[in-house]
Chain A
Amino acid sequence: MVFSSLTFLFFYLPITLLVYFLAPLRWRNLVLLLVSLFFYGWGEPVYIFIMFLSILIDYTHGLLVEKYRSDDKKARWFVGQSVVFNLLLLGFFKYWDFFAVNLSLIPGVRIPTLGLPLPIGISFFTFQTMSYTIDVYRRDAPVQRNIVNFGAFVTMFPQLIAGPIVKYKTVAEALDHRMNTTEDFALGARRFCVGLAKKVLLANAIGALWDAQLASQGAGTLTVLGGWLGLAAYSFQIYFDFSGYSDMAIGMGRMLGFRFDENFNYPYLASSVTEFWRRWHISLTSWFREYLYIPLGGNRHGTAQTLRNILIVWLCTGFWHGASWNFILWGLYFAGWLLLEKYALRGVLPKLPGWLRHGYTLIVAAVGWGIFAIEDLSRCGAYLRTCFGGGVLWSAADGYALRSYALTLIVLVIASTTLGRDLWHRLPERVSRVLAPVLMLGSLVLCTAYLVDGSYNPFLYFRF
């Protein structure tokens, strides 16, 4: 069940909110656990057992780490166990087939593929539970002795399937002592509407343009202009899709009384690749910095080790996004740019005019999305070759696409900047007080129309 579905919006969410707020405060974590398990089981009934396993093991390991706190060796051993367990879980379900296929290329090696469906959200919740034992060990978070509360943290439906990655320490306080205020609910609801509109009205709309460009690449009619139009479309699609999803998660978290950290900060306003990654999927990059880059030594042990650490972190970041070579390439592609900016371009970049730095960042990001989006590497290469001049410049079909999407693209550009937010803050309060509910309702109504249309499936005796 995705947030942007009729089932979620008009059945799961209202019923969940009703039950949650009817329940007395001390039962709310139990309610949250149960509704979240239902949410998880809806898409993957069988995989609920993974959820139980994950809760049980990480809960026990948290307790063990706390118990053997005085004996550092033992405590570290239990932290290690928990990390290995989570990585094995992730590795088995997400990466088995990838390794099986690639290792079987070696003569004499035969590993069968399993073809298991990927448990929803496994990349997110394994990282969250890993952070829990590590935080307990580092005394960054108190141990959780109540398994219901811990279960509610692991399964919490707003962030379960697409993040943001919520570290245990950010919600530890709220899990045990939560305040539910009407203001939080209202702000959360408003945020949810913003996210829903980003996902349904913006991301889905421009996604159709990317699909069309990809199809014309397959048919051999892609042009240079069409290629870039496609990359721009995909750049917008993935940003508004993902950040819209994060907004909905943050909004629902707030409605339930939790504060999640922000996950995006206008990434397309960045003026360098380094800055782009400080603004994009913040919860993931900060997770890798905190639990991988810094433990590896960060940049404190000279150039050679820093280089190694950056490469490891970005290899993992890429691979985390998917079990396929293009994601690894994508991670290394960014590692390359980051290293270039760190060493070679350090003196040059700041001296360039602003528009050039922004343009450079956007192009690097867009080409990166090309690698990210097209799993088949040879096809990806062909697409990018066309973009860089390997084809006719433009065609009538591009004209049609531009005309059809002109207004959408303008809206997307504006929505990628802080303009809307700044204008909103400048509005006199009496105006924004009226405008907020109007926009909220507008977003809900339009999104409903688009979602219903998506389920609309006329049987056209078309075939006859």
Chain B
Amino acid sequence: MVAVAARTSRVTGRRFRSVTLGVLGLVGFALALEIGPRVGVVPIEFAPPTSQILVSMGDLLGEASFWTALLDTLRTWALGLGIAMVAGVVVGVLLGSLPIVRAATATTVEFLRPIPSVALIPLVIVLYGPTVKSTLVLVVYAAFWQVLIQVVHGVADVDPVARDTALAFRLGPWARVRYVVWPTALPYVITGFRLAASVALILTITGELVIGSPGIGKEIDTAQQSNAVRTVYALIVVTGILGVLANLLTRFVERRVLSWHPSTRGEEVVAA
């Protein structure tokens, strides 16, 4: 009992210490960015100190246009991610379960995947103009491959004994996907989801910034054009917060969906 209590208190102590250090780190970081511009390490007119950025963030929160832009960004992100997830999972399960299809498409996938999605920017501008559709194409293209590759690997990972057992018990194709393939592939699907979520956010903001479809990215561009330096920084910080929230969300989903899974998978993105 005593030993357990001592260990618990040691663990809590270490925990407490690392939280304190983390808070210290954040405060120090904010202070460095406050003091840096004030003492002239960087020009103050182009790099406002933390306090000023926070003040203009407060101003933003009171503007209706900011909330509209934020909602636009979130909607594009969620929609693009959703389409990419569904397409990636369906195509991935098909490719993974039919070896002949997989072999026939391997080269094509290998060639299409490394094409940078931003290469499509001029194309979507002439085809769809500065609309949400243009940005969605970029988001879906970039996020789709992340999901697809993970799902294909996940489906290939099915235990041969489980597969043969399912065949011996004459499970139909649908039941095999549901009870054998899906549980095996699920951790991979979730990894794909996590990777795709962050890529989709990057491309959403990029599309808005470069193509000019409505959202936070466009607001940044507008603010920069009108030389509203503090607003530019405030909006950039908002995108950072969005990124943190997206990471927290995907981690939460991962924990919820995979609570039954015996092992937590590594981070490695497997290259085909």
- The answer to whether A and B belong to the same complex is no
